[in-house]
Structure 1
Amino acid sequence: MKTSNKTINKWVFTVILLVITANFNSCTDDLNKLPQNTLTNDKQYNSVEGYKQSLASVYSNLVYNTFLRFYWSMQEYSTDMAVSTWNDGGDGIYHELAWSADSPAITNVYNASLSIITLCNNFIKESTDDILAARGFSGSDADTIKQYRAEIRYLRAYCFYILMDAYGNPPFPTEANLGTSSPEQIQRADLFAFIESELKDIEPMLADPRTNERGRPDKAADWALLSRMYLNAEVYTGQEHYSDAITYSKKVIDAGYQLETHYSWLMLGDNYLNTNEFIWTINFNNTDITWYGTNFLSLGAAGVPASINGMSGSWNAFRFTQQIPALFPTSDTSIDKRAQFYTNGQNLEVNNISTSTDGYSAYKYRNVNRDGSAITQNNNYGNIADIDFPVFRLAEIYLTYAEAVLRGGTGGDMSTALNYVNQIRGRAYANDPNSTEGNITASDLTLDFILDEKAREFYWEAQRRTDLVRYDKLTSGSYLWAWKGGIKEGRAVDDKYNLFPIPTADLLANPNLKQIDGF
């Protein structure tokens, strides 16, 4: 169990779970009502403590909602990174790139994101300067609530980013139309501009980098989200922002983050210790019961036994296609220590998607401490994870900087980009970012190399789909993997599958929504 004092108070989560409905039946219904709190807003928001409780309710929805598990499925099953044994919630249609507006799987992230946005909108509406003054808040109390409000706006921006990236033109509920059953639809480029504006506006109000409680966003989290958006801006808006990606990457780098020395430490049960590298995390603790968190990532990896994953036997839920191990020099950690592939009883090639032994697995996520010791399970199940999920970590920022330089962005240089990439590889090859083992030369540093390096560094961290879209490799025939498009050798598919459609249920309920082309 985690003992770090840099965490949102656990009792806050307990209170919120009693008063917040974490899952909603319909996205459209969500927008037609305020969060289901047993207290009126005037009573809930009559103290700083009350505001913090409501702040925690949003964080708890990232943990207890279906968000992380289904977002991971959307980002990884639709690529070469994973095939699903279970076809859990329709995951099979992801890998085949064959979804429709009626597919149940596509509603999960859509509904979860909009549910969180609804909670954010209520908080934002109840924390304006006028309302704080009317409720008698002033001085440090008012400043504290204003920081909470900035964090809530960040969380809303993050969820809107997910919707923009995955669905293109989603509905646009804000505090101004809270309670409206039919919010207007926003175009992707306009949503990009809104998120960009929000993140820049809240920056001064957020805590300085590395000074906030664990799991709460700060200025560096703000810059990290901007850098990720700017790297993908041409996909979202038709206009490139590579110079901006460099600018905001440098802001994060200059804040004093460093790579952790061991790659194997990144996804362990005590990874709350990774304060050098982690920028913003979704936090998990085995006292808090959820089947939608990082226990899925540890237990879901096919074949990995309890003696390795630190909890219980494998659920045999997912494996890699053979294209991912091929990116590494070996399928074990003897050269590149990131190659944490589990091969016992597993075949390299995926001949059948639903056969749990087809495809190598990995033991990247392990619910143990750095020293290998077991973590006590404070629950009745014995298989709840303590592994925090890093939404942003420094290695991504280094690779964003390098890719943006290669794509012609200004404000950076190739020498620095090469140094950042070689630090990542030094850690991978020698448990030392300053090692020259694994070093590449300037001529090796190409865009294709960056894409492969991201796959090696960030496998199973919910980034692959977005990366492949940016490189025009998700739907095109320029890169094929096993069972892409529903055939073993892989095939190109319609470009419409670079996006997910608005779910049919919401289209029927909200006359303001129009479907994207092709669905």
Structure 2
Amino acid sequence: MKKLNTKIILGIGAMLFMFSSCTDDLNTEPKVELSIENLLAQDPNAIEGLLSKMYGTFALSGPNGPGSSDISGPDPGETAFLRSIINLQDFTTDNMKNRWGDDGLDQLTTTSDWDPNNKFFRYLYDRVYYIVPQTTNIIKVLDGVEVNNEAQIVGELRFIRALAYYYMIDCFGKGVLVTTENYGETSALPEASRTELFDYVEQELLAIEDIVPDNNGYGRANKATVRMLLAKLYLNAEVYTGNARYSDALTYTSKVIDEGGYTLATNFVSNFSGDNDTSTEIIFPLIADPVVSQSFGNTTYIVNGSTSTETMNIMDFGTTDAWTGHRATKAWYGLYGDLDTTTDDRAQLFWTEGHNYEMTDYKIWADGYPSIKFRNTNFNGPSTATSFSGTDFPMFRLADAYLMYAECVLRGGGGSNTQALDYVNEVRERAHATAITSAQLNLDFILDERARELNLEGHRRTDLIRFGKFTGGSYLWPWKGNAQNGASIPATYKLFPIPQSALQANVNLTQNPGY
């Protein structure tokens, strides 16, 4: 059975304890059936379950199945971290639109009328400030409890905390800095700027680079995982801090490529299939399982949300529960040219039968092409359709690193132009797309190639902002600014509004400009 040990650990982590939500008070200690100190004193091996619980918070909504949530919300399934990433990183951009429009989802899919009371902004914000205090608390407890392999476990917890902070930096630009030094303080913590958060995450990742192992269990952080997050932090440093760090981004991207031991999977779609735990390319996955770790917020959201009995046989994609929700726009599939004649394998991952090329109404299912990039069927061998997905989400993978290297070279970060071209062509040739020449390799091409390769993987909004294409009117896409052919949006939309609930909980927080 695939990933059996990891899945069992996730299940144990869910059963050991239930954290309370930290949305009302970031300094509230978690309510547990048994204190962590006493738990670990009685059973030091329980740390594996606690660690797995923290990894699981990126894909699962809560500890007691798909109907539970670690944070508050009217629909627990909506509150999962990965679901928030897809909503905020993909639906707000050119590649994907959702037709449901319920309770603020329209604000995301039309990139318009953003409101601090929108629950979808709050879900990501609250999820970050659920993960950060909980990991910090466990780190503090471990300082006084002896467990096996403690240094590495602390390193992994620091990575999990840094990953959560990375999304706070990227999406909201500021917040509060909860650390082992100030955890448990009763007074409201001061607001930390984007640069302060950046500096903290950078320091944490640099500190644990030599603590985490070269190789680790599937779904757990290793050196390449830490280096990939560092590379992403540096790649976007000019946006985050005003200071370009492309040479540092290239350094750590090169370490991932040269020392990580990963290779491109032979077939592109194998990275997004139910048995993708065998992929040689995935550096850091968010684990899914249709039985042990059910969630409405992991890849179930992508697979079920992108399928419908109205126009397709959903069993072909391994699901028994279609939601009729997500479709791509021509801003994505148009990048491949004529879908009927292109040799690019990635261009075939759209369902066109019964659908219209133009999205004249984003609320009509037949307008736009559903993406069938993610599926719940095995790439190798038979599989059984289930209502929950067992396909892991590839948060970091090698093809991304190849394209990051090329971008760093083009932005003056050093490296080799020849090597950059080779990496880009390796990505394209794997998909049976035509190789490009050095004359064709420029930043505009990289942005488009990142869309062709990485869309629906939670990168697009960050990419468009880094390339200066997200706000304003120089680049329009269907339903940007709530207009069928696109309209300019304000520069303030480079950041999401700080949720009103967070402002009310901490008087030291201030709203982002424009909201």
* TM-score, length basis structure 1: 0.91
Is the partner of 1:86 in helix, strand or coil? coil
Q: Does the alignment pair 1:108 with 2:130?
A: no
Match of 2:335 in 1: 327
Q: Does the alignment pair 1:262 with 2:267?
A: yes
Amino acid at match of 2:82: L
User: What do the CA deviations read for 1:206-237 (whole angstroms, capped 9, x no partner)?
Assistant: 011xx211000100001100111111110000
Cα deviation, residue 32, structure 1: 3.4
Cα deviation, residue 332, structure 1: 5.2
Amino acid at match of 2:374: Y
Is the partner of 2:345 in helix, strand or coil? coil
The correspondence for 2:299, drawn from 294, 306, 309, is: 294
Is the contact between residue 90 and residue 459 of structure 2 (CA under 8 Å) also seen in structure 1? yes
Q: Does the alignment pair 1:90 with 2:99?
A: no
Q: Does the alignment pair 1:243 with 2:256?
A: no
For residues 50-449 of structure 1, the aligned pairs below 5 Å read 50-65=46-61, 66-97=80-111, 98-128=113-143, 131-132=144-145, 135=146, 141=148, 144-180=149-185, 182-208=188-214, 211-255=215-259, 256-274=261-279, 276-287=280-291, 288-303=293-308, 304-331=312-339, 335-339=343-347, 340-371=349-380, 373-375=382-384, 382-410=386-414, 412-429=415-432, 438-449=434-445
List alignment gaps of at least 5 residues for structure 2. 62-79
Distance 1:447 1:41, change over 3 A: same
Amino acid at match of 1:83: K
Cα deviation, residue 105, structure 1: 1.7
Distance 1:229 1:254, change over 3 A: same
The correspondence for 1:45, drawn from 40, 45, 64, is: 40
Q: 2-side partners of 1:23 and 1:368: how far apart?
A: 35
User: What do the CA deviations read for 1:89-146 (whole angstroms, capped 9, x no partner)?
Assistant: 4221012222121222210111111111121111111122xx24xx5x5xxx2xx121
Q: 2-side partners of 1:19 and 1:518: how far apart?
A: 43
List alignment gaps of at least 5 residues for structure 1. 430-436
User: What do the CA deviations read for 1:294-347 (whole angstroms, capped 9, x no partner)?
Assistant: 011111114443232111253111111222111003325851001111011111
Is the contact between residue 302 and residue 357 of structure 1 (CA under 8 Å) also seen in structure 2? no
Cα deviation, residue 178, structure 1: 2.3
Cα deviation, residue 21, structure 1: 3.3
* TM-score, length basis structure 2: 0.91
Q: 1-side partners of 2:180 and 2:505: how far apart?
A: 20
Match of 1:506 in 2: 502
Cα deviation, residue 284, structure 1: 0.6
Q: 1-side partners of 2:271 and 2:121: how far apart?
A: 29
Q: RMSD between aligned alpha carbons?
A: 1.7
Amino acid at match of 1:13: L
Q: 2-side partners of 1:122 and 1:158: how far apart?
A: 16
Q: Which moved more, 1:305-314 or 1:114-123?
A: 305-314
User: What do the CA deviations read for 1:389-444 (whole angstroms, capped 9, x no partner)?
Assistant: 1110000100110001000112x010000000000011011xxxxxxx61100000
Match of 2:74 in 1: none
Q: Does the alignment pair 1:34 with 2:40?
A: no
Distance 1:22 1:386, change over 3 A: farther
Is the contact between residue 226 and residue 245 of structure 1 (CA under 8 Å) also seen in structure 2? yes
Is the contact between residue 7 and residue 289 of structure 2 (CA under 8 Å) also seen in structure 1? no
Cα deviation, residue 50, structure 1: 2.1
Is the contact between residue 329 and residue 335 of structure 1 (CA under 8 Å) also seen in structure 2? no
Distance 1:444 1:23, change over 3 A: farther
Q: 2-side partners of 1:61 and 1:89: how far apart?
A: 23
Identity, in percent, stands at 35
Q: 2-side partners of 1:302 and 1:50: how far apart?
A: 39
Q: Which moved more, 1:358-367 or 1:451-460?
A: 358-367
Is the partner of 1:279 in helix, strand or coil? strand
Structure 1's consecutive aligned runs of 4 or more residues displaced over 6 angstroms after TM superposition are: none
The correspondence for 1:18, drawn from 10, 15, 18, is: 15
Amino acid at match of 2:329: T
Q: 1-side partners of 2:128 and 2:37: how far apart?
A: 26
Q: 2-side partners of 1:23 and 1:465: how far apart?
A: 31
Match of 2:73 in 1: none
- How many aligned positions are there? 488
Q: 2-side partners of 1:395 and 1:127: how far apart?
A: 37
